[in-house]
Amino acid sequence: MKPINHSRGFTLMEMSVVLVIIALILGAVTVGRDVYRGAVAERISSEFVQGWILAYDRYASQSGRVPGDNALTGMIGGGTAATALCGTALVDEMLKAGVTLPQGAMEGRQETYVYQDRNGLPQRLQVCLQAITDWHEPISASGYAARTRNVLVLHGLTPELAQQLDQRIDGKVDARVGRVREKRPGTGKVAAPTEDAAWSRDETSNANTSADAASATVIAYIKMSQ
């Protein structure tokens, strides 16, 4: 008597169920990753970036001048655009005035913040203070004029983080208008204002887009209150 073979393949229905389950799992992983990156951006914005903005305002209120402005010009570094306060010089200037700084990377390096990009690789965000001479502001319904303004400079922003900070501070993503603007690549200048301008880079800007490659970065300016 021929033995009965109980083995059989998957039915179309069973395969469909498996594919749906796999899709749900992948979707949950993607959503979870997006939620995590959003939480990281919120923490950097609220604790580090806003912390430095508050520290700057506190310094100006307590000292009667802005950081590095010994000549009382109202501009960081006395209004010389090439003079930026960065690194330990920035930290020391703020601490000398008794200003409490955000925690940052470590004691003595409160101007830096280490975070992970979308590939899980470390990126270093660094803040500086600087006066720039070409912050364009509207002077009429149809024109802009360049003004000297004090800014917080953010080095080491991934495009994703730059856009999230832009959205949180300005309420929309626009690299050339609002309080948050992009430093024009290859220059020390802010690009001329254009509504709805995209940031110059995105998460695919690196030539090496493999999972072991760090994301491309941009530099952003945030205009200070004084």
Domain ranges of the chain: 12-223
The amino acid present at 160, given as its one-letter code, is E
28 or 149: whose pLDDT is higher?
149
Q: Look at residue 65 in the predicted model and tell me its pLDDT.
A: 92
pTM: 0.79
What mean pLDDT do residues 48-66 have? 94
Question: 64-86 pLDDT, tens per residue?
Answer: 999 988 888 889 987 565 678 99
Contacts of 207 (CB under 8 A, 6+ apart): none
Mean pLDDT of 12-28: 70
Contact 180, 124 (CB under 8 A): no
Instruction: Indicate the SS3 state at residue 179.
Output: coil
